[in-house]
Structure 1
Amino acid sequence: MTAPTTNTWSLTAPNFNFGTQTASSSVINSNATGDTAIKIVNLSGTSTSFSLQQSISDFTLVSNTVVLPATGFYVSVANSSDGKLIGSSNVNIFKQNGVVLRSGTGANGTMNSGAVTAQLTVDGTTRVIVTGSYKATITSTLVTGP
């Protein structure tokens, strides 16, 4: 059997649920813990250096296109226990790319980060917060090289 020479990387990232929040006419900071660690699998056979960039879209009501007046989405990722993954703290990925994780020593095989947390900042002082359930999409990009 021959190992594949392409598509030798895979990535699994957590989901966040901020639960029920009380809307107000002030700035709201809501915290959530990801439902899983970030899992990166490198089957290339090498310890190629890499970084994980993420960005998150606007939060929109599930029922229509109303946008939540969010101003920031800050991600913190704890280091892996084996030193293969180095996390970052308080990286704002709201509608912009931010590096949330980098490779450490011997970054190959199956690697799991430590806990992943997020803080969503919503500004209700300038726009009305419409009641309902909101969703957003996190885009993850694995960038190899120094």
Structure 2
Amino acid sequence: MTLVKFNNGLKNNPVGPFFNDVFDSILNDSYLGDKLIARVPAVNIAETENEFDVALAVPGLKKEDFKINLDKNVLTVSADKKVEAVGGKKFSKREYSYNSFTRSFTLPESADHSKIEADYTDGILTLIIAKKEEAKFQSREIAVK
């Protein structure tokens, strides 16, 4: 694929071409694009009546790459994967590979630390954190006196 740059008629301006070339080299997609890419996976956190669901988008990893720790009230998810050549390909841009990352979450008091499960399916790491019995929503009818 060939990319074509348009100059918008600034070639006749003596400052224009130099000015544009400087900023094009600084602000082009390949220079800043890799630095602006999130180095940690995106996360969705949901709460239901009985549990908290934490889902991290981590494509390209295996179950063995993850390390999940609970230290007091902080749940830490990390991964470290060695970069390997894929079929001798040389990538000019690689946006969805997480070589290593660490994400930490402070659990609320209502979380049951002894009931945390993890599942990795289709590039999504799902953590299910159960709630303590006393923290679950209890509904009851209140009689009017």
TM above 0.5: no
Interval containing the TM-score (normalised by the shorter chain): 0.3 to 0.5
Richer in helix (by share): 2
Task: Return the TM-score normalized by structure 1.
Answer: 0.33
Task: Return the TM-score normalized by structure 2.
Answer: 0.34
Richer in strand (by share): 1
